[in-house]
Chain A
Amino acid sequence: MTVQAKDKIKNQQDIQPVYLESGIEVRAVYTADAVHHDTVKELPGQYPFTRGIHPLMYRKRPFTIRQYAGFATPEETNKRFHFLIKNGQTGLNVAFDLPTQIGLDSDDPRALGEVGRVGMSVDTLVDFEKAFEGIDLDKITVSLTINGSAIVLMAMYFALAEKRGYDISTLRGTAQNDILKEFIGRGTWIFPVEASVKMVVDTVEYCAHHVPKYSPVSVCGYHIRESGANPVQEMAYAFCIAKAYTDETLKRGVDIDEFASRLSFNFDIYGNLFEQVAKFRGGRRLWAKIIKEQYGAKKDKSCWMRMIAGGGGGGLTKEQPENNIIRSAYYALLSALSGTQTMALCSYDEAYTIPTEKAAEISLRTMQIMIHEMGICDTVDPLGGSYYVEALTDKMEEAIIREMDSIDSEGGILKNIANGHVQDKISEQAYLREKAIQEGRVKKVGLNCYKHDEPPKPVEFHPYNEAAARQQMDNLKNIKAARNNGEVESRLETIRKDAMENKNLMPSIINAVKSYASVGEIIQILKEVYGEYDEPIMF
C-alpha cells in the first residue's frame, strides 16, 4: 500500500460518521460508482420522471406561488386575497377556521372563541360569494385547505362557479381533502375512517365525471412530517394513503387514467437540503412506477407526482425569529431544485402566530428573488447528474419502498391508522427528535446554539377579531331567516337518504348548498348516518 493510500484511509477514519434524519449514512466523497440508477440517460418529462414531470419545467413557466391565507370574515379574507394577487401571487390557498374545518356553524356553542380565529369562517354559500368577489376563477386557481368537511366546501365552490356562469367542466383548482392524514396529524377528522374515505372517493368519482380539470385530493405527507415523521416515512405514508384512495376509486369502476392525473401531493421542505431533494426525486420516480406498473395506467400524465412542496414550519424557531427568513429561503431553494409545481413558504413569524402582512410579503419576495435573480428557472433539474444527489435519490427510493412494505405487511394503512399504530410510531419519532434538540445532539441555531442572552423581544400577534365573529353569527341568523327553509329541509333529507343508500353524496350536497343549507347542518345529517370517529389514545 502506498503512503498516500494509507493517509487516505487514516483520514477517512478520523472523520465522524454522518447520518441523515432518515438513517442513511453519508459518505465524505461521492464518485460515479455510487450511482446505480440510469438517470444519466433520463430526460425530464419522460417516464419515470425522476428529473421532473415536464420537459422544460420552469424554463416554460415558474412554479405557482400560493401563500396560505384567510382569516375572520369572508370580507376580510377577500381583502387579503386581493392584496396577494396585486403583489404577484398566481394562486390562492384558503385557510378556514376550526369550526368550519370540523363542520360546526359559527353559532354552535362548541365554536365559542374559535370563529374566524385561524382562518375564514364559512357557514353558507353566501360566505363563498363574498370571499371570492372580484376574483376571476378562470385566472386564479384556488386551493381549499379543508379536509373533514371537504365534501361540503368543494360542493360550495362548484355551486359558486356555476352560479357565476363558469363551465365547471373546465374549472381548475385543488382541495386538500386528504382525511387519512388528519387521523395522523392535524386532527380535523369528523367521521369514522371508513365513512371518511367513502366521502373522499365520492369527490374523486364526481370530479372524474363532471369537473375533470379539478384536483379533488392533495395527499399530504406534509402534516405527517410535521407530526414527527422522518422524510422517508413522510413519503411512504403519503403514497400508502394515495394508494388507498386509488384502490377505493377503482372499485367504483372509474378507470385509473380518468383520475390518477388529478391526484396531487403536498410535501414538507424543512431539514437537510440534499435529503429533501433526493426524497422528491426518488419519490417522483417511485410514484410513476407504482401508477404504471401496479395500476396499469397508460397515460404518462397519470404517473406524474404533481406537488406543492412548501411550508417548512417544523424547521422554524420562535427564538431569533428573523433567522426563519434565512431558513425559508433555503427551503424555497431546495423546493425549486426538486422540481415542485407549487410553492408556499411559512412566514418567519409563523412559529407563533398567523403571519402579519409584512411577514407574508417577505415570503412572497423570497420566492420572487429566487425566480428573477438567482437563475433558478434557467435549466431543468440542475442537480441531476450529481454523484451525491443521484446516489441519495436511489437510496431514498429504496427506503420509501421498504417503509411502504412494512405497513403493508402489518395489514395496510387503513388498519394501521384506525388502530393508532402509525400515530404511535410517528409520535415516538417526535419525542426522540425533541429530546435530541433539547440535549443539543440535533443543532438548531438560536435555540440550542448561538443563543442570545437577552430576553426575546415581544412579538407582534395577529389580534382576534371578536366583532367579526359576532357579525358572522348575525349574518348566519339573517340568512337562515331569509332562505326557503322548506326547500333546505327537503334537500337535507335527500342527503340523508343518499347516505343511507350508499350513493355518491356530491350531487345532493351541491343541491343543498345552493339553497343555502349551512356546513353545520349538512355535517350533522351525515353524523347521524355515519357516527363520529373514536380517537385511539396513543402517545
Chain B
Amino acid sequence: MDKMKILLAKPGLDGHDVGVKVLARALIDAGFSVSYTGLRKSIEEIVDRATLENADAIGLSILSGTHNVLCQKLADVMKKQQLDIPWIIGGNIPAGDCDGLVKIGATAAFATGTSIQEVCNFFTKLQKQLAEKSNSNISKSKA
C-alpha cells in the first residue's frame, strides 16, 4: 500500500483550527499523505471530497460541541453515497460521548486531551490493518 491518504475536515461552523492544523503537520511528519478541507464545510462537501481524492480515511475536528449531530450526519451521507472508509472524530469531545460516536460509526473517537502521538499511532495501526486487508483481498482474487 502507498502512503495512506487522510482527509482532515472541519464540518459545521466552528472556527477552531489550531488543533487540526497541528495534527496535519504531525501526520505528515509521521509519513502520511494529508489533505485538509479548511473551515465550515458541509458533510456533503466532505464526503464528496473524500470520494474525489480517493481518501483512505476521514478525520473530523469539532470543538463547538456539535459532534453528535454532525457525526450522525456523516454516517448517513457516507452510507447514502456508498463511501465505505474508516472515519475518526476528535476536538473537544467529552470522554462520555466517545462510545456513542463509535456506535454511530466512528472507527475511533478521541476525547479532549488526547495526545497527537496517540492519534499518529492509531493511524499507523490502521494503515497496517488496511494493508493486510487489501493483501488478503488480492490473494483471494488470485485464488
With A431-B21, A535-B38 given, is the CB distance from A98 to B64 under 8 Å?
Answer: yes
Q: When A and B form their complex, what is the total count of cross-chain residue pairs whose Cβ atoms lie within 8 Å?
A: 90
Chain A interface, DSSP helix/strand/loop, else mixed:
loop
Task: Collect the chain B residues with CB atoms within 8 Å of residue A431's CB.
Answer: 21-22, 25-26
Contact partner, B13, options A102, A352, A438, Cβ 8 Å: A102
With A438-B116, A458-B96 given, is the CB distance from A114 to B42 under 8 Å?
Answer: no
Contact partner, B21, options A99, A353, A539, Cβ 8 Å: A539
A111 within 8 A of B: yes
Contact partner, B66, options A113, A187, A188, A427, Cβ 8 Å: A113
With A352-B112, A430-B21 given, is the CB distance from A99 to B96 under 8 Å?
Answer: no
A319 within 8 A of B: yes
A185 within 8 A of B: yes
With A99-B13, A114-B12 given, is the CB distance from A226 to B18 under 8 Å?
Answer: yes
- Quick check: B21 and A461 within 8 Å, CB to CB? no
B98 within 8 A of A: no
Task: List residues of A (342-397) whose CB comes within 8 Å of B's CBs.
Answer: 351-353
Task: Collect the chain B residues with CB atoms within 8 Å of residue A461's CB.
Answer: 94
Task: Collect the chain A residues with CB atoms within 8 Å of residue B117's CB.
Answer: 438
Q: How far is the CB of B76 from chain A (nearest CB, A)?
A: 13
A86 within 8 A of B: no
Alpha-carbon distance A352/B94, docked complex (angstroms): 8
- Quick check: A117 and B65 within 8 Å, CB to CB? yes
- Quick check: A110 and B22 within 8 Å, CB to CB? no
Q: Would you give the 0/1 interface string for B71-101, flagging 1 where the beta carbon is closer than 8 Å to chain A?
A: 0000000000000000000001011100000
* Chain A residue at minimal CB-CB distance from B24: A539
Alpha-carbon distance A431/B18, docked complex (angstroms): 9
With A110-B13, A111-B13, A112-B69 given, is the CB distance from A427 to B18 under 8 Å?
Answer: yes
B15 within 8 A of A: yes
Task: Collect the chain B residues with CB atoms within 8 Å of residue A208's CB.
Answer: none
- Quick check: B94 and A318 within 8 Å, CB to CB? no
Q: How far is the CB of A314 from chain B (nearest CB, A)?
A: 9
B48 within 8 A of A: no
A449 within 8 A of B: no
Task: Collect the chain B residues with CB atoms within 8 Å of residue A352's CB.
Answer: 92, 94, 112-113
- Quick check: A318 and B112 within 8 Å, CB to CB? yes
With A427-B21, A427-B22 given, is the CB distance from A98 to B14 under 8 Å?
Answer: yes
Task: Collect the chain B residues with CB atoms within 8 Å of residue A539's CB.
Answer: 20-21, 24-25, 36
Alpha-carbon distance A182/B112, docked complex (angstroms): 24
Question: Could you tell me how many residues of chain B have their Cβ less than 8 Å away from some Cβ of chain A?
Answer: 33
With A117-B65, A318-B112, A431-B25 given, is the CB distance from A227 to B18 under 8 Å?
Answer: yes
A153 within 8 A of B: no
Q: How far is the CB of A134 from chain B (nearest CB, A)?
A: 29
Q: How far is the CB of A511 from chain B (nearest CB, A)?
A: 28
Task: Collect the chain B residues with CB atoms within 8 Å of residue A318's CB.
Answer: 112-113
With A99-B13, A114-B64, A117-B66 given, is the CB distance from A430 to B39 under 8 Å?
Answer: no
* Chain B residue at minimal CB-CB distance from A447: B113
Task: Collect the chain A residues with CB atoms within 8 Å of residue B95's CB.
Answer: 456, 458
- Quick check: A186 and B15 within 8 Å, CB to CB? yes
Task: Collect the chain B residues with CB atoms within 8 Å of residue A226's CB.
Answer: 18
B126 within 8 A of A: no
Contact partner, A187, options B16, B22, B113, B115, Cβ 8 Å: B16
- Quick check: B40 and A102 within 8 Å, CB to CB? yes
- Quick check: A117 and B25 within 8 Å, CB to CB? no
Q: How far is the CB of A256 from chain B (nearest CB, A)?
A: 32
Contact partner, B12, options A113, A428, A435, A535, Cβ 8 Å: A113
Alpha-carbon distance A112/B43, docked complex (angstroms): 12
A464 within 8 A of B: yes
Task: Collect the chain B residues with CB atoms within 8 Å of residue A117's CB.
Answer: 64-66
Q: How far is the CB of A112 from chain B (nearest CB, A)?
A: 6
Alpha-carbon distance A186/B66, docked complex (angstroms): 17
Alpha-carbon distance A427/B37, docked complex (angstroms): 16
Task: Collect the chain B residues with CB atoms within 8 Å of residue A537's CB.
Answer: 36-38
Contact partner, A185, options B18, B26, B37, B42, Cβ 8 Å: B18
A405 within 8 A of B: no
Q: How far is the CB of B65 from chain A (nearest CB, A)?
A: 6
- Quick check: B94 and A434 within 8 Å, CB to CB? no
Task: Collect the chain A residues with CB atoms within 8 Å of residue B108's CB.
Answer: none
- Quick check: A187 and B17 within 8 Å, CB to CB? yes
- Quick check: A319 and B13 within 8 Å, CB to CB? no
With A227-B18, A539-B24 given, is the CB distance from A98 to B13 under 8 Å?
Answer: yes
Alpha-carbon distance A99/B12, docked complex (angstroms): 10
Task: Collect the chain A residues with CB atoms within 8 Å of residue B26's CB.
Answer: 431, 434-435
Task: List residues of B (45-69) whose CB comes within 8 Å of A's CBs.
Answer: 64-66, 69
B102 within 8 A of A: no
With A438-B115, A535-B39, A537-B36 given, is the CB distance from A114 to B21 under 8 Å?
Answer: no
Alpha-carbon distance A118/B64, docked complex (angstroms): 7
Task: List residues of A (416-460) whose CB comes within 8 Å of B's CBs.
Answer: 427-428, 430-431, 434-435, 438, 456, 458-459
Task: Collect the chain B residues with CB atoms within 8 Å of residue A535's CB.
Answer: 38-39
Q: How far is the CB of A210 from chain B (nearest CB, A)?
A: 31
* Chain A residue at minimal CB-CB distance from B94: A461
- Quick check: B15 and A188 within 8 Å, CB to CB? yes
Q: How far is the CB of B89 from chain A (nearest CB, A)?
A: 14
The interface of chain A, by Cβ under 8 A from chain B, is 98-99, 101-102, 104, 110-114, 117-118, 182, 185-188, 226-228, 318-319, 351-353, 427-428, 430-431, 434-435, 438, 456, 458-459, 461, 464, 535, 537-539
Q: What are 12 A-B residue pairs whose CB atoms fall within 8 Å in the complex?
A: A98-B15, A99-B13, A101-B13, A113-B69, A185-B15, A187-B15, A430-B22, A458-B96, A459-B94, A461-B94, A535-B39, A539-B24
Task: Give the 4 A-B residue pairs with the shortest CB-CB distance, closest first.
Answer: A187-B15, A113-B69, A98-B13, A539-B21
Please give 13 more A-B residue pairs, beta carbons under 8 A apart, in addition to A101-B13, A431-B26: A98-B64, A113-B66, A114-B66, A185-B15, A187-B16, A352-B94, A427-B18, A431-B25, A434-B116, A535-B38, A537-B37, A539-B21, A539-B36
